Amino acid sequence: MADMNTSIGNTERKPIRCKAAVARKAGQPLVIEEVIVAPPKAYEVRIKILCTSLCYSDITFWKLKDPPGCFPRIMGHEAVGIVESVGEGVDEIMKGDYVVPVFIADCGECKDCKSSKSNLCSKLPFKVSPWMPREETSRFTDLKGETLFHFLFVSSFCEYTVVDIAHLTKLHPQIPPNRACLLSCGVSTGIGAAWKTANVEPGSSVAIFGMGAIGLAVAEGARLCGATKIIAVDVNPDKFEIGKKFGVTDFINPKSCEDKSVSQIICEMTDGGADYCFECVGMSTLVEEAYASCRKGWGKTVVLGVDKPGSQLSLTSANVLCSGKTLTGALFGGLKAKSDIPILVKRYLDKEVRLDDFVSHEMKFDEINKAFNLLIEGKCLRCVLWMD
């Protein structure tokens, strides 16, 4: 359970000096230092971060030397916190509320947000921006007055952050912070992709390429939807035992396929191809293999992995025309944060969604570089960092 009595002093409308982990240079260890966090402007909220978890997207953009990589920057986008203060025009939440920030906006006003067909807000569209979403300014500076850039409209590697109200969802206080933060990105993305984007049907077959946290969350979503054959594809054989907790029934190691491709094996296992395939790594070649692995006529391939900027797919138009398959991307798994995250919270509290098994490590925030190394080395699933 979240502690709603977390100490928040009389800091409203004042800058806050606090600790952050700043990415000063691409690929270099984060620097723990004091920063200044400005008060929220109109439609913004300043939150005290309780805990943050690491997502591989943090690693991907931390390594980028060229745009959209930029430095110095406060990374992090999976988190949960308590509202410290709100700016003008914010009326749906108030000081002391328990909230989760999300990188994708849910304004509730534009054509897309009002439609059940899309979660891609057109008023505040997704982009890898170094600024706040409504204006190109930052709320962070270091002690020398230098601007520190934002990341994915969240920047959770800081004791306090400022987030637009369209990127915040209020939570039920019963879900503990070290589980709630998982719903900020990866786990929601995977479950949502199976539940909302693919709409996996009971009795269907599913193939998942990449069994990191997002891939395992896809398996969890497919299990909840009633899929009976869930095939995991990964080069790490240890992922099979982990995957079984989330409903994985079969495992393919591409290194052990001999003279057959992964798609050939999947098509043989499923009598023509999996009903649904999910690419969860961020490699164009895997997207192509996933597309080849899904069934003609109704097979659906969902892309979830974040690839390098500029990566391209190679599919023949004849293949697309004659196969009748669907290929789609799914930011945040197709979920609408403000309405769908509360559903996932309830299903967790009802002991349906297995959030607990996603957390492999819990550490103090000061150990963030150690946590980065564990994720890079593939030695952790989700590492939760506690601010206090």
Which pLDDT does position 96 carry in this prediction?
97
Which pLDDT does position 12 carry in this prediction?
86
Tens digit of each residue's pLDDT (9 = 90 or more) over 233-257:
999 999 999 999 999 999 999 999 8
The pLDDT of residue 215 is above 60: yes
- Tokens representing 120? 């891609």
Which pLDDT does position 359 carry in this prediction?
96
- Using a cut of 0.75, tell me whether the model's pTM lies above it: yes
Which pLDDT does position 130 carry in this prediction?
97
pLDDT band for position 20 (cuts 50, 70, 90): very high
The pLDDT of residue 109 is above 70: yes
Which pLDDT does position 325 carry in this prediction?
97
Which residues does residue 229 pair with via DSSP β-bridges, in sequence order? Answer: 205
Across the range 110-134, mean pLDDT stands at 96
Tens digit of each residue's pLDDT (9 = 90 or more) over 286-308:
999 999 999 999 999 999 998 88
How far apart, in Å, do the first and last CA atoms of the chain sit? Answer: 16
pLDDT band for position 350 (cuts 50, 70, 90): very high
Which pLDDT does position 5 carry in this prediction?
52
Tens digit of each residue's pLDDT (9 = 90 or more) over 309-327:
889 999 999 999 999 999 9
pLDDT band for position 378 (cuts 50, 70, 90): confident
- Tokens representing 42? 């109109």
